[in-house]
Structure 1
Amino acid sequence: MTQPASLIYKPLGIDTLQEHVAFMHRDCHICKSEGIEAQTRVELRHHNKSVIAIVNVIHSDLLDCGQIGLSLNTEQDLGAKQGDPIEVMQAAPLDSLSQLRTKIYGHKLDRHGFETIVSDIAKGRYANIHIAAFLTAMASRRANVQEVIDLTAAMVAIGERLSWGVSPVADKHCVGGLPGNRTTPIVVAIVASAGLTMPKTSSRAITSPAGTADVMEVMTPVTLSLDAMRAVVDKEGGCFVWGGSLALSPADDLMIKVARPLELDSDAQLVASVLSKKIAAGSTHTVIDIPIGPTAKVRSKEQADQLEHLLNQVAFANGLNLKVVRTDGLQPVGRGIGPALEANDVIAVLRNHPQAPTDLRERALRLAAEVLELCGKCPAGDGYRLANSIVVSGQAWEKFLRICHAQGGFTEPLRAPIVHLVTASVAGTINAIDNRRLARLAKLLGAPEAKTAGVQLQVALGDTVSRGDPLFSMHAEAQGELTYALTYLDSHPPLLIESQ
């Protein structure tokens, strides 16, 4: 198409997540003249802005032949308003697809190959189907160590890379798979109180009922600009910011959105995703928590060995000081599973509440100790004592509040309007807890989109219960979600009670 043709924009109010989609009538003159059909890639231009979009063809009177509809994100990125002319033309061929096909067929990619793919993803040139193909091609150990090193470096190079003018710059991350494991806000408060710099950028949930950003958003704004983030860190030494609001490893944000419905999280992509974000955020020293358990993300010592080796190799090659900590993944951490419920656990620990979850407190103290020692804030073996004293004295809670207020204020978590208690049907001992089923149950209840939804545990492994004793409560914001979750619960019990 040499001269761009125009169609008149008609808003349709269709949300396609991050994928750019254009809706055109099947009898549209552009479709006919250019052979455009469903799933064709087109370039759309409006004033000085352009995006690559996938065409969906309308076979009804929803649109006239001279009109075009846009998904909500496409409308926003183009700045289009009703009645505006939108120029439409065939999109240029994607040269990086040859690199993608190379990986799909099981061949190795070099740094240049990954850079071309990651660049096209970050620029919005890949449809979801292309991104899904890339994620799948990198899964099941189909990427070697050098490929993960190159992918990580490519993801860092494409986006913004922060510098804080100090060293060390601390960070901490958990590979996930363990419901309620919300240690990060506690660790940040402790480490920042100790005088270290910890500008924490966190993700939203990918396959879990809550990510750190989801939990913190219950209590304080987390969608901050880079300038706002810098102001908070300069003032308080730490922050709790959603990484998606920044331009750090932008291709990773798009890949995460595709990986979420697939529930796909391979070691190669996990390592590249985590470490690219740490490096891009300016971290020099990072502690990685790997929970191990039969229903955690990492299920065995052998799998943990492989993941730890990959993390260490990629971190070293990219100049990041890394410490891997293995933790118990047999059961959830804390009592709450879901944004508001996990936020309550965090607050209870920081406030030194007598009923605060002991396991969450101890795990957070251990991880904070590792960060303090890795960064040279205290001698080896003295980190736990220092971390504990900061929490007991109330310094951690004060620092947490100051960071929240610097980000826009602190709000106490709300409670769900619907609560259903689940009790023991038999007497016995809690012999096993299925993390995956509990996470699934919390998601069916509405978490993380419904902030107060989720599950609150009232028992732990090894506890003895009598018939009728409370096991956990289900929290929902809509009756339909509770009903749906109860149907799942009937055939997928998350707790195994060994009868007495």
Structure 2
Amino acid sequence: MEQNCDFLKLRRLGVDTHQEPVVYMRQDCHVAIAEGFTAQSRVEVCTEGHSTIASLALVSNDLLSHQEAAVSEAAWRLLGEPQDGERLSFRHARAVDSMSFVRGKLYGERFTQQTASAVIRDIKAGRYSDIQLSAFVTACAGDRLNLEETIALTEAMVASGQRFDWGSDNILDKHCVGGLPGNRTTPIVTAIVAANGLTMPKTSSRAITSPAGTADTMETMTRVQLEFEQMRRVVEQQGACLAWGGSVSLSPTDDIVIRVERALDLDSEGQLVASVISKKVAAGARQVLIDIPVGPTAKVRSADKARRLQQLLENTGAALGLQVRTLVTDGSQPIGRGIGPALEARDVLQVLMNDSQAPQDLREKSLCLAAEMLEMSASAAPGDGLAMARETLDSGRAMAKFRAICEAQGGFKQPQMAPHSHTICAEKHGVVAYFNNRFIARLASLAGAPTAPAAGMDVHVRLGDNVQAGSPLFTLYAQAPGELAYALEFLDGHTDVIRIEEETV
């Protein structure tokens, strides 16, 4: 009888587990009994033409029949989007031998080129459960990776995905190491660079621990999920793109690791460098500018840590054939007004359109970064890059190029604003003396960003501003009243988000 066969029929339930592949079957079905499957078993699931490894969840009620199995949406995509009723076969996933190298790292051993490659290979193949990925992220956290380990991981991550070759040595890219709310310079810089005839195949990550990444912000204005050949066509047409790196399979293991880093709220210095450099190499870049904001509540908090990060980035880049230039910038306060995808997109558009309401700090920083890149490429002589960048922006050529890039990626749309808001005002007269960037990012995230693209916050003051009691300091935005209340509840216990001090004579 059919129930004695070694397969089950697929039933698509539409369960969203984000990027984690999960398979569901009855605990008393013939496959579970015959294979000795238990909850959380790592199971290889196969269709006629595809296979993936998933974590098993056992069902004890009538959600599924004894002849059915379901898979999460992530597993369904990895299986090639099979039809309901298609046959699925199952077997125990083989032991993940490379976990011994992760355990060794936790006990103080170093990754080698061989062990790093084995770990990254297994992560790409989906052999690591989320628990095992968490162990890997923890093993790399902080400054536990030295230069040799960072280079080894970077090379392994590049080898795990596709790679562009643009047939030129003058291919530009930029990156910010993060940790500073707002600071959405990339779309502006990319538009300025591309408007001057240069090539900049820009891929970006989604937010890890912040309220928005460049990909999240761009997604409020255009399509960012481009396949490999789609990205190639956009860059060939417009000289640049602004795409999500995860959709192009450039260093694909990085996006798997980022998902776990986000859940754990952990960052690794070496993993950060491997992530940045591997994606630049995979995108075909040859010259890369990296922004390192430094401030007391930024991701990089001291000049010493900035210097160490500069060396790691430059040396790792050189080992993989990149010319990397790093720029240490002020990370003491947010850049721009908006924090959250749609609010940051609004700021970007205001700068590109030369709007009188545009945040001037975002405009000036973007111009400085673009100037560096124009000079790196020899399009501008040393010292002339800023004038060239400013003319490109002021003339409207940057906005025209930005719009053309968006149209090539699938069309331009205006970012939408959230319906619910609450403004926090100063309780006393004084001078704005301090921003807690971490608390500001946390507030915007609690309000719903980046999951709700329109959520986040607007900052109305800058360091050194004189304020009166009752003057607005910042406004929170949320898609739903409950999210707004959640953020305000956090604020009740964290009053030192923006510090106002009495003016001294």
Q: TM-score, normalised by structure 2?
A: 0.96
Counterpart of 1:26 in structure 2 is 27
* Structure 1: distance between partners of 2:5 and 2:239: 51
Per-residue CA deviations over 1:311-346 (Å, capped at 9, x if unaligned) read: 111011111000000000000000000111111111
SS at match of 1:497: strand
CA drift of 1:24 comes to 2.3
1:371 corresponds in structure 2 to 373
Q: What is residue 253 of structure 2 aligned with on the other side? A: 251
SS at match of 1:180: coil
Report the alpha carbon displacement of residue 455 of structure 1 after superposing the two structures with TM.
Answer: 0.3
Looking at structure 1, the residues matched to 237 and 145 of structure 2 have their Cα atoms a distance apart, in angstroms, of 42
The aligned length equals: 498
Q: Do residues 497 (structure 1) and 505 (structure 2) align?
A: no
Structure-1 separation of matches of 2:99 and 2:292: 34
List aligned pairs for 1:152-163, cutoff 5 A. 152-163=154-165
Q: Distance in 2 between matches of 1:213 and 1:439?
A: 17
Match of 2:309 in 1: 307
1:399 positional shift: 1.2
CA distance in 2, matches of 1:387, 1:163: 27
Q: CA RMSD in A?
A: 1.5
Equivalence map 1:192-207=2 (5 Å)? 192-207=194-209
Post-superposition shift, 1:4? 8.2
Which shifted more, 170-179 or 430-439?
Answer: 430-439
SS of match in other structure, 2:431: strand
Give the match's secondary structure for 1:14: coil
> 1:264: how far off?
1.2
What does the per-residue CA deviation read over 1:264-300, in whole Å, with 9 as the maximum and x for residues that have no partner? 1110100000000000000000000000001100001
Alignment partner, residue 82 of structure 1: 84
Return the letter of the residue paired with 2:65. Answer: D
Moved more, 112-121 or 57-66: 57-66
Partner of 1:288: 290
Q: CA deviation at 1:95?
A: 2.3
Question: What secondary structure, in the 3-state scheme, does the structure 2 residue paired with 1:496 have?
Answer: strand
CA distance in 2, matches of 1:356, 1:382: 24
Q: Which residue of 1 aligns with 2:117?
A: 115
**Paired AA for residue 424 in structure 1:** A
> After superposition, what is the alpha-carbon deviation per residue over 1:34-83, rounded to whole angstroms, capped at 9, x for unaligned?
32111211111111111111112223333334332211111232233333
Partner of 1:70: 71
Give the corresponding residue for 1:219.
Answer: 221
Distance 1:97 1:273 in 2: 20
* Match of residue 404 from structure 2: 402
For residues 111 and 75 of structure 2, the distance between their equivalents in structure 1, rounded to whole angstroms, comes to 32
Range 347-356 or range 81-90, more displaced: 81-90
**Contact preservation (8 Å) 1:4, 1:88:** no
User: Residues 207 and 260 of structure 1 are in contact (CA less than 8 Å); yes or no, is this contact kept in structure 2?
Assistant: yes
Supply the distance in 1 between the matched residues of 2:285 and 2:450 (Cα, whole angstroms): 27
**Whole-Å separation in 2 of the counterparts to 1:11 and 1:407:** 31
- Corresponding letter in the other structure for 1:5: D
Is contact 2:142-2:267 (8 Å) kept? no
Query: Match of 2:59?
Result: 58
CA distance in structure 1 between the partners assigned to 2:167 and 2:158 by the alignment: 19
Superposed CA deviations along residues 215-254 of structure 1, whole A, max 9, x for unmatched, are: 1111111111222212221121111111111010011111
How big is the shift at 1:427?
1.5
Q: 1:239 aligns with which of 238, 241, 262?
A: 241
Shift of 1:10: 2.9
Segments of structure 2 that go 5 or more residues without pairing to the other structure are none
Unaligned runs of 5+ in 1: none
1:388 aligns to what SS in structure 2? Answer: helix
Amino acid at match of 2:451: E
Between the aligned partners of 1:192 and 1:82, the Cα distance in structure 2 is 46
Alignment map for 1:65-464 (pairs within 5 Å): 65-78=66-79, 79-464=81-466
Offset of residue 88 of structure 1: 1.0
Aligned residues of 2:418 and 2:455 also touching (Cα < 8 A): yes
Query: TM-score with structure 1 length normalisation?
Result: 0.97
Check the 8 A contact 1:5/1:89 in 2, yes or no.
Answer: no
Secondary structure of the residue that 1:297 maps to in structure 2? coil
Distance 1:257 1:361 in 2: 31
AA at the equivalent of 1:448: P
Q: Kindly indicate whether the alpha-carbon contact (under 8 Å) linking 1:288 and 1:325 is maintained by their aligned counterparts in 2.
A: yes
**Contact residue 4 and residue 89 of structure 1 kept, 8 A:** no
> SS in structure 1 opposite 2:232?
helix
CA distance in structure 2 between the aligned counterparts of 1:11 and 1:355, rounded to whole angstroms: 49
Q: Secondary structure at the residue paired with 2:434?
A: strand
In 1, the alpha carbon distance for the partners of 2:82 and 2:239 equals 40
Residue type matched to 2:37 in 1? I
Deviations along 1:372-408, one digit per CA (max 9) or x if unpaired, are 1112112222111111111112111111111112222
8 Å contact from structure 2 (residues 421, 478) kept in 1:
yes
CA deviation string 1:136-163 (max 9, x = no partner): 1112322211010011001001110101
